[in-house]
Each structure stands twice: as structure tokens, then as C-alpha cells.
Chain A
């Protein structure tokens, strides 16, 4: 892998980011809307509860932490689509750029934008609701890593789908990860789910992270070792989804890159 090529791809998307209001809005606008809308709604519903501030903290922290998997999956699928819309895919792949360099760059962009959005939303949560997610300290790091890996799984699967079916299924690039939100237990404990859904949640790495987050906020931090299983799961899923992505790319090359445009 050559860093200068990855920098070239990074610049391509960063220049677009700089020029495109809706891409800028993705980083700041939607986290703000989510926080204001769901934060105020939650505050209203739990205002009569004896531990209202703690419950609000759990909800808000869930919202803020969810930014990581959301951005991680979003950058892969949407940036591929942007190149499809611009008829620019060939300008990238008929060059020395290797497929893995392109994927790695998009994953890195997802991390970078995830950190920016997370930091912004974290500060906003503090200003609006006096909820300080940064108080969770070092725990945030392994949690962010696990759910980012999980987000990449969706990103790779959606990208594979776009490569296979073209723009007919482009809406998935924005929405696919929301399929798993109910099982990821972002806003409520896994125990709230019906039995069959709890079984599904056991196979969703993000559910362990949000359970751990709620435990930490309520003063019962989960040992880091408890995150070993979700980490292994995430890596396993990532391996599978990366294989699917590579297979889809090879299949696309058999049809020709132009076929997706």
C-alpha cells in the first residue's frame, strides 16, 4: 500500500466534503437534530423519574456513541455512490490504486469524521443536557473501536450490494445500519427486548457495548475483558464482509466497472 495514493483518494473526498453542503451537514446537522429531538423527548418522558438525570445520560450517551457505527458504514457506501453518480469510478481504478487502498482510505475517513461528529455531539450534549459522555474516559476507546468495526461490516455489505445491483438499491447506503438498531440496544437494555430478539442481540456486538455503557453510567463499570467476545464477533463479521466485498469487486470487474455507472 502506498500512502501517497491513499492521500490522493483522501483528497478527492475531502475536496468534495468541503464543497458539498449536504456532506458537511451530515457531520454536524444530523447529530444536532438527533440530540435536540430525542434529548428533549426523553427529558419530557423521564422527568418524573427519581433518577431522571442518569436515565437521560444513558439515552444521550447512546445517541452520541451511535455516531461511530453510523459514520463508519456511511462513508464506504455513500462515497462509492458519489463516484458512481460522477462517473468517476474509472478515474480511480484505472490507475495504480489498489482496491484495498481505496477501502482503507474510506475506512480512515469514516474514523476521522466519526471522531469529529462524536466530539461535536458530545460537547452539544454537555451544553444542552449537562451530560458529559467524556466522563466515561478510557472506556470510550474500546467501545468506539468495537462499534466502528461493526459499522464497517454494514458499510462493506452495502458497498458490495451497490457493486452488484448498482444504484437501484442506493437508499441502503444511508439506511441499512438502522436494521440492527433495535437489536443493538442503543437506547434500552437488552432485557427489554422479547426473548427471540434477545437471542438476536447476543450476536450483535454493539449490544454489548451499549450494555457496558449503561452499566458504567450507573456506576457499575463492566470489565474490559467482558468485551472480548463482541470484539471477536466484530472481527469475524468484518472478515466475512471484507471477503464479500472483495468477491463483489472481482465480480464487478468481470462485468466491467462501467456497468455500475
Chain B
């Protein structure tokens, strides 16, 4: 599998503030990478540097083996992006915006390509409408369509499904998964929708304060959290529970008779045994294992995973 993107010791400072602190990562052909991080973590700054519209302070970005600082034009022929930070000219129609955008790339059969894009993104009813007449969701769809005019090998998506209705968002997720499956399109996406990231991404990179604090599959990242949540509806000896939880250095909350106890996952068998020994009876039990959202929240809060 060939390496599509290689980021080496990438740094960016604005004045005295270093916002990207020497990040390294690479991406293989056909891989979908999610970049997550709290606001101000450096996601958009990183994406801008990958697109060559922000000059790094130091470090390098190689796309298809070429340094983007030197071969920006050649590299971007096969790259595209969609961002919530951009809009297409409001007075132009959808058709006009896709026409002029298509001419920025070396496309052989432009007419055929635009017809395909129109069909793929279900743009027929919007085709002759000005951008100003579209809803936020429709504009996002047109922006996504624009990002596909050159059928890119590397696609950067900044919150691609934000403002789309659930049906269209699902269709878009399936579309991008299909692009990867059928054309080995490599995709980088940022999103605040954790379910979307878990569904689409092979690997997730977590940025915090300009540093990579996590780089793994969504499942493995979630597994790094060694705790679990046990939900119990206690029917007898509830008072003994507080002592038990304190003893196991866990935490507990109660809502409508259901106690949620958080402790290290390996303590679970011992905890259940103790419940039985101390005759603490319950009528309902469920266990929530941590997911990507829990991991993200733990990183965002800056808490130590083990302490949770």
C-alpha cells in the first residue's frame, strides 16, 4: 500500500504562540483518517498546511511523495477539500459554481464529469438556483460536490456532514465510504460527530494543544480507557454500596433509582462478587464500555485515563 501523505515534524507559530508542536503522521492509500480535537487544538491549522494555504514554520508535508511547498500546483491537481470555513460565490448558480471550479483542474470530459457530479450529489433540483437561495444543508452538499469535481485521490473534509439532514448525511457517509472502496480515495476528515468518525475512519488522530495525543483505530483508542460504567437498579442494601465504591476507588452517581458506578474495568468481577457477598440486591444491570466519545472527552478534559 503506497503512502499518500507524510507529515514530518510540522510546526506552526503565530507570533510567540506555537499552535502546532512538531506533529508526525502518515496516511496510506485508501485509508480514512479522522482528526479530532477540542476547539483550538489545531485541526483547521493542520488542514490548511496540508492544502498549502498556510506556510508551516518548519517541517514538511509530502503528498504523493512530493513536497507541497515546492509542487503545490501539481499535488493539488489530485487533492480537494470541503470546509465549513468556505462558501461558493452567492450570486452564482450551482451550475456556474461547479463549471468554474471544474476548470481549475485538468479534466478531460468536463461536461460528462459535471453530469456525473450532478447525479451523485442529487443536484438536479438545485442546478439553476443561486447559492443565496439554498439552505445551509444544500450549500454544504454543493460544497461537497465541488470537492469531487476532480475525482481527488486525497480528499480533506472539514465537518462534511454538519448542517445536513440525517438522510442526506447518511447518504454522504455511504458515498465517501464507497469512494474509498471503489477508487481507493484517501480521506481525512474532521468532525464533532463521534458516531460518524467511528463508522467511517480506519484511524483517528487526536490533537490537543497542537500535539498528537492519540493515533490509533477508534476501537483501540476507546480501549485505552481502562474504566467502565456499571448501571444498577438496587432493590436492597443500597447504603452498603457507597462504602464498597469508595473502597474500590471508583465514583458513583444516582438517577431515578439507578446507580451508575465508574471504576477500572478489571475490578468488575471482584465488584460483582462483593455485591453478592454483601447481599446487595439489584433488579437491573447493564455495563457501558467506553467508546471514542468517552476517550475524546477524557482528552478534552485533560484527565488521566487511568484515573478515570
B interface footprint on A7-28 (CB within 8 Å = 1, 0 otherwise): 1110110011001100000000
A258 to B55 CA separation, bound complex (whole angstroms): 12
Report yes or no: B87 in contact with A86, Cβ–Cβ below 8 A: yes
Beyond A11-B96, A86-B87, A87-B85, 9 additional pairs, beta carbon < 8 A: A4-B103, A9-B103, A15-B96, A16-B92, A91-B146, A94-B81, A250-B55, A253-B54, A255-B54
Residues of B with C-beta under 8 A to A258: 44, 48, 53, 85
Report yes or no: B91 in contact with A4, Cβ–Cβ below 8 A: no
Report yes or no: B100 in contact with A9, Cβ–Cβ below 8 A: yes
Residues of B with C-beta under 8 A to A92: 104
The 5 closest A-B pairs by CB, nearest first: A8-B103, A256-B54, A11-B100, A12-B100, A19-B91
A93 to B130 CA separation, bound complex (whole angstroms): 23
Task: Show 6 A/B contacts (Cβ-Cβ < 8 Å), sorted by A.
Answer: A2-B106, A9-B104, A12-B100, A15-B92, A90-B85, A96-B73
Report yes or no: B104 in contact with A86, Cβ–Cβ below 8 A: no
Report yes or no: B76 in contact with A96, Cβ–Cβ below 8 A: yes
Residues of B with C-beta under 8 A to A96: 72-74, 76-77, 104-106
Residues of B with C-beta under 8 A to A16: 89, 91-92
Interface size class of B (residues with CB under 8 A): 35 or more
Residues of B with C-beta under 8 A to A9: 100, 103-104
Residues of A with C-beta under 8 A to B126: none
Q: Which of A4, A90, A97 contacts B83 (CB 8 A)?
A: A90
A140 to B73 CA separation, bound complex (whole angstroms): 39
Residues of A with C-beta under 8 A to B83: 90
Give the shortest distance, in Å, between B53 (CB) and chain A (any CB).
Answer: 4
A88 to B88 CA separation, bound complex (whole angstroms): 6
Interface size class of A (residues with CB under 8 A): 20 to 34
Closest to B77 in A: A96
Give the shortest distance, in Å, between A67 (CB) and chain B (any CB).
Answer: 25
Q: List residues of B (65-97) whose CB comes within 8 Å of A's CBs.
A: 72-74, 76-77, 80-81, 83, 85-93, 96
Residues of A with C-beta under 8 A to B100: 8-9, 11-12, 15
Give the shortest distance, in Å, between A19 (CB) and chain B (any CB).
Answer: 4
Closest to A257 in B: B53
A93 to B79 CA separation, bound complex (whole angstroms): 12
A94 to B52 CA separation, bound complex (whole angstroms): 7
A50 at the interface (CB under 8 A from B): no
Residues of A with C-beta under 8 A to B103: 4-5, 7-9, 11
Closest to B86 in A: A90
Report yes or no: A255 in contact with B48, Cβ–Cβ below 8 A: no
Which applies to chain A's interface (DSSP): helix, strand, loop or mixed?
Answer: helix
A9 to B105 CA separation, bound complex (whole angstroms): 11
A95 at the interface (CB under 8 A from B): yes
Given known contacts A86-B87, A96-B73, A256-B45, A91 and B101 CB-to-CB distance under 8 angstroms? yes
B102 at the interface (CB under 8 A from A): yes
Closest to A11 in B: B100
Give the shortest distance, in Å, between B286 (CB) and chain A (any CB).
Answer: 45
A4 to B104 CA separation, bound complex (whole angstroms): 7
Report yes or no: B106 in contact with A4, Cβ–Cβ below 8 A: yes
Closest to A93 in B: B53
Q: Which of B53, B91, B102 contacts A20 (CB 8 A)?
A: B91
Report yes or no: A87 in contact with B53, Cβ–Cβ below 8 A: no
A98 at the interface (CB under 8 A from B): yes
B99 at the interface (CB under 8 A from A): yes
Report yes or no: B87 in contact with A95, Cβ–Cβ below 8 A: no
Residues of B with C-beta under 8 A to A225: none
A83 to B74 CA separation, bound complex (whole angstroms): 23
B51 at the interface (CB under 8 A from A): yes
A5 to B104 CA separation, bound complex (whole angstroms): 4
Report yes or no: B14 in contact with A98, Cβ–Cβ below 8 A: no
A49 at the interface (CB under 8 A from B): no
Give the shortest distance, in Å, between B156 (CB) and chain A (any CB).
Answer: 9
A192 at the interface (CB under 8 A from B): no
A51 at the interface (CB under 8 A from B): no
Given known contacts A86-B87, A256-B48, A97 and B92 CB-to-CB distance under 8 angstroms? no
Given known contacts A96-B74, A257-B48, A257-B54, A88 and B106 CB-to-CB distance under 8 angstroms? no
Report yes or no: A86 in contact with B76, Cβ–Cβ below 8 A: no
Q: Which of A7, A8, A256 contacts B53 (CB 8 A)?
A: A256
A254 at the interface (CB under 8 A from B): yes
Residues of B with C-beta under 8 A to A257: 48, 53-54
Residues of A with C-beta under 8 A to B85: 87, 90, 258, 261
Report yes or no: A88 in contact with B87, Cβ–Cβ below 8 A: yes
Residues of B with C-beta under 8 A to A98: 73
Residues of A with C-beta under 8 A to B14: 255
A258 to B81 CA separation, bound complex (whole angstroms): 14
Residues of B with C-beta under 8 A to A87: 85-87
Given known contacts A8-B101, A96-B104, A91 and B76 CB-to-CB distance under 8 angstroms? no
A4 to B107 CA separation, bound complex (whole angstroms): 10
A256 to B47 CA separation, bound complex (whole angstroms): 11
Q: Which of B76, B89, B93 contacts A95 (CB 8 A)?
A: B76
Closest to B103 in A: A8
A2 to B73 CA separation, bound complex (whole angstroms): 11
Interface centre among B48, B55, B81, B103 (most CB of A within 10 A): B103
A87 to B82 CA separation, bound complex (whole angstroms): 13
